[in-house]
Chain A
């Protein structure tokens, strides 16, 4: 016996914390990619982002608990929620955001608009669903045991589904005509117009995809946590911190940042208690922005 029993216990606990960090980090990554995408392409912020996270959760809740869809299990739910989120995102962009773009200083106006939209959505959730939190059944039950280590299949699923979606998204971004067009608009909007890329449509599609990503994240994490009508703003703040820490508009930076922050949150939560997580987050962000204002991988000005 090399290690004492206490040491072994501690190692299991640490492993648990790491797994939790990886799981949460993977969903943060999904959210950060969605947020950085909108910022990168339109240079405007969507402050209702956290509410779309909850909207995904509520859509899933309506489908599972409200309507009771059983056919195809979670696969059906994922597909329907993603399609709904795409439609909501596209519709909102066309109806509310796109008219603002005709005005000067529209980036600022979009921020104010989405801030108001967020407040509206969160109040709407209270009215429709009440203040009590809702929970979703796990995608998959059971645990995987390797020696003394116990992984829940749910965590494993969440991790692979988030990372899988990011990889698929990244592949589409680099290997399809529309993906390249999105990057073109992000790198040079005027140049994109010159080559005949329909900028307005790319803006709306980007907004829709980002909405679907955070909504999907909402479905995934709502099985671990709960759907809370008031949680949108704190989710928005987390997504924002991950995005700023990684470097605005840098997808790879957002990925690294998400895992660093997921881990940080788990470890700080384990050592000091859950409520210290957000404090640690901001200390990290402040330190980064002081030393490296463009974030981890940002390109700077």
Chain B
């Protein structure tokens, strides 16, 4: 479904991603792990057209998407759910959700997706008229995921949706992601830690210093000595 081949991304002078190649197949949950600041978010942003300097090949359903504007990529069915949420602070929950369905591809399904999102996050139903800026961290994160789903995308790039949440909420977020996946969405998920995602991941990539250092199933990841060292400190 999505193939990234020899991708190099730069932020001005600094070379962030070095010859990164990953692929995600339809219906999978692929997890990208790695320490903070090693380029995981940059890979997601490169896929979604949110970074300017990218070299290499990115194809989605056999179409070249590297260098396209974000609005085109969103329209093709890829959405980015940001680590820092990127909500519209002075708009209500409902307005945020409706803007999530801005792209042409999503407009016709706005009502349908709104119902689905409210089913998935019943907590948002009562908060429709609340301003996004007045929500707690956990609620805002839910709203960010919900807004991403409103885009009617088939391919979700999720950037640490569990960041900063207490363990019980984290568990809830991951089970929601599982549910979203079972509804037919393909998910490329960035996380920092192995144990949290063991139930979720079909395959795992690990990124260190801008390169992919490991690729395999979650069993392989769990038995890999090097990964144990970086993630579990063992």
Most buried by B among A180, A191, A196: A196
Determine if A194 and B88 form an interchain contact, defined as CB atoms under 8 angstroms apart.
no
Determine if B90 and A187 form an interchain contact, defined as CB atoms under 8 angstroms apart.
yes
CB contact list, B82-117 vs A, under 8 A: 82, 86-91, 95, 98-100, 102-103, 106
Q: Of the 9-residue stretches B21-29, B66-74, B175-183, B214-222, which lies at the interface with chain A?
A: B66-74
Complex alpha-carbon distance, A181 and B90, angstroms = 13
A283 interface residue, CB < 8 Å from B? no
B147 interface residue, CB < 8 Å from A? yes
Determine if A191 and B86 form an interchain contact, defined as CB atoms under 8 angstroms apart.
yes
Determine if B50 and A195 form an interchain contact, defined as CB atoms under 8 angstroms apart.
no
B65 interface residue, CB < 8 Å from A? no
Determine if B103 and A196 form an interchain contact, defined as CB atoms under 8 angstroms apart.
yes
Complex alpha-carbon distance, A183 and B87, angstroms = 12
Closest to A200 in B: B69
Please judge, given known A-B contacts A177-B102, A184-B99, A190-B86, whether A195 and B151 are in contact too, CB under 8 Å. Answer: yes
Taking A191-B82, A191-B88, A198-B71 as given, write out 19 further A-B residue pairs in contact, using a Cβ cutoff of 8 Å, ordered by the A residue number: A177-B102, A181-B99, A184-B91, A187-B88, A187-B91, A190-B50, A190-B86, A193-B50, A193-B70, A193-B71, A194-B50, A194-B70, A195-B147, A196-B70, A196-B71, A196-B103, A196-B106, A196-B151, A197-B99
B162 interface residue, CB < 8 Å from A? no
Please judge, given known A-B contacts A180-B99, A181-B102, A190-B50, whether A198 and B69 are in contact too, CB under 8 Å. Answer: yes
Q: A-contacting residues of B (Cβ < 8 Å)?
A: 48, 50, 69-71, 74-75, 79-80, 82, 86-91, 95, 98-100, 102-103, 106, 147, 151
Complex alpha-carbon distance, A89 and B62, angstroms = 39
Complex alpha-carbon distance, A177 and B103, angstroms = 11
Contacts of B91 in A (CB 8 A): 180, 183-184, 187
Closest to A185 in B: B88
Complex alpha-carbon distance, A52 and B192, angstroms = 53
A143 interface residue, CB < 8 Å from B? no
Complex alpha-carbon distance, A184 and B69, angstroms = 18
Most buried by B among A184, A193, A195, A197: A195
Contacts of B80 in A (CB 8 A): 194
Contacts of A198 in B (CB 8 A): 69, 71
Partner pick for B89 among A180, A181, A188, A196, CB 8 A cutoff: A188
CB contact list, A226-261 vs B, under 8 A: none
Closest to A299 in B: B90
CB contact list, A151-208 vs B, under 8 A: 177, 180-181, 183-184, 187-188, 190-198, 200
Please judge, given known A-B contacts A177-B102, A181-B99, whether A194 and B79 are in contact too, CB under 8 Å. Answer: yes
Contacts of B98 in A (CB 8 A): 180
Determine if A195 and B74 form an interchain contact, defined as CB atoms under 8 angstroms apart.
yes
Closest to B157 in A: A194
Shortest Cβ distance from A295 into chain B, in angstroms? 16
Complex alpha-carbon distance, A264 and B82, angstroms = 48
Sample 16 A-B pairs with CB under 8 A, ordered by A number: A180-B95, A180-B98, A183-B88, A184-B99, A187-B89, A192-B88, A193-B50, A194-B48, A194-B70, A194-B86, A195-B102, A196-B70, A196-B74, A196-B75, A197-B71, A198-B71
Complex alpha-carbon distance, A169 and B101, angstroms = 23
Partner pick for B99 among A190, A195, A200, CB 8 A cutoff: A195
Determine if A188 and B88 form an interchain contact, defined as CB atoms under 8 angstroms apart.
yes
